[in-house]
Structure 1
Amino acid sequence: MLLISCPWCGPRDETEYHYGGQAHVPYPKNPAELTDEEWAAYVFYRDNPKGPFAERWMHGTGCRRWFNVLRDTVSYEVLAAYRLDEPRPDIAQAGGNP
């Protein structure tokens, strides 16, 4: 099990959270102008890297707030957790390998 540190509530077991997908995916500026293929790419296609990956999580049984988690997809190690209004931490600062 993962131990995820909510920026507001502190460390909690992963069973208290809901996964929300890839973080830092910008909403299209003019969604009405997108083709079906462009809209499908925005809705369905996400990165699937090996290594550090920024994800969105929601603390469902706690404060119910969304936040971002930087997690290593190989080791499942949580490298950092940060609020949505904060920038993605530098991997070296977060404890991961550069």
Structure 2
Amino acid sequence: MLLIPCPWCGPRDEAEFRYGGQAHVPYPQDPGALTDEEWAYYLFFRDNPKGPFAERWNHAAGCRRWFNLTRDTATNEIRPGTAAGDGGTR
């Protein structure tokens, strides 16, 4: 099990959280102008690195807030994050 550090509630068991995918994926500026292929790329294509990866998490069983953190996908080492929208992970 992972021990995920919520910026507001402190470290909690991963069962309290919901994974929100890759962090820092910008929403299209003009969504109406996108082709079906461009929409598919925006919705479904994400990075899948081996190593540090910026992720979004929601503390569903706690404060219910969204935040970003960096998790190493090879070792599951987690670096504390920031509130979603606060300029990214640290």
| TM-score, scaled relative to structure 1 | 0.87
| SS of 2:18 mapped into structure 1 | strand
Partner of 2:40: 40
Give the AA of the match of 2:65.
R
> What RMSD, in angstroms, separates the aligned Cα atoms of the two structures?
0.9
Give the AA of the match of 2:12.
R
Partner of 2:24: 24
Give the AA of the match of 2:34.
L
Aligned pairs for 1:3-82 within 5 A: 3-82=3-82
| TM-score, scaled relative to structure 2 | 0.94
Query: How far off its partner does 1:80 sit?
Result: 2.1
Gapped runs of 5+ residues in structure 2?
Answer: none
Query: How far off its partner does 1:62 sit?
Result: 0.4
Gapped runs of 5+ residues in structure 1?
Answer: 90-98
Query: How far off its partner does 1:79 sit?
Result: 1.7
Runs of 4 or more off by more than 3 Å in structure 1? none
User: When the two structures are aligned, how many residues end up with a matched partner?
Assistant: 89
